[in-house]
């Protein structure tokens, strides 16, 4: 039983960053959906993308890019509430599942996280004149959470993320219903 639990955890964990992977995020979402069906509440999903990650990799090398991913995952995990689930969504993109978090709270959490990461020097040799790593963040929410669908929440967060990228990067936007909000 212990070995099965270890293997299950391993399959749901990103090998590089040691946070949940997409499978782990899906499992956490299903657990949260079941809890919300019993108790009600709100849920938000944030998608975080490292701005200009390709340029970072090209200029400093893939080892530095990996170091940035590991450091970012650790800082994001420590910056959020214990009930929030942080997952590597793919490449330089991370997802955060925020239970009992409405639109305004999720937007504020994203902004705090963006500011925290921008103030850190995640890599050795980071410039003193500006942050080496910045984030664009998209937040998707659904209120109330009736018939909640993870694909819908992620799609909303993704649309807000791409709006943040188009709007100049290093910002947090959200999508609530049909509207992109800042």
Q: Which residues belong to the active site? A: 92
Q: Which residues contact 59 (CB under 8 A, 6 or more apart)?
A: none
Residue 157 Cα distances to 96, 162, 165, 175, angstroms: 10, 9, 12, 6
Residue 9 Cα distances to 3, 31, 67, 95, angstroms: 10, 15, 23, 18
Phi–psi pair at 55, nearest 5 degrees: -65, -40
**Own/partner pairs, 113-118, CB within 8 angstroms, 24+ separation:** 113/46, 113/48, 113/76, 113/79, 113/80, 113/137, 114/170, 114/171, 114/172, 116/75, 116/79, 117/72, 117/75, 117/76, 118/170
Tokens of 20: 């949940």
């Amino acid at each position: 039983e212990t070995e099965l639990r270890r293997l299950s955890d391993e399959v749901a964990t990103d090998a590089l960053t040691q946070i949940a992977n997409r499978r782990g995020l899906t499992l956490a979402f299903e657990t949260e959906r079941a809890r919300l069906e019993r108790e009600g509440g709100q849920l938000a999903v944030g998608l975080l993308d490292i701005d200009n990650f390709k340029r970072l990799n090209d200029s400093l090398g893939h080892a530095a890019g990996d170091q940035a991913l590991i450091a970012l995952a650790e800082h994001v995990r420590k910056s959020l509430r214990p009930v929030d689930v942080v997952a590597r969504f793919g490449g330089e993109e991370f997802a955060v599942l925020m239970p009992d978090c409405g639109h305004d709270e999720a937007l504020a959490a994203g902004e705090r996280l963006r500011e925290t990461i921008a103030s850190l020097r995640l890599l050795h040799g980071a410039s003193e004149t500006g942050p080496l790593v910045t984030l664009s963040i998209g937040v998707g929410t659904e209120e109330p959470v009736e018939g909640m669908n993870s694909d819908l929440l992620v799609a909303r967060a993704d649309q807000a993320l791409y709006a943040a990228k188009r709007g100049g990067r290093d910002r947090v936007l959200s999508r609530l219903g049909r509207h992109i909000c800042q």
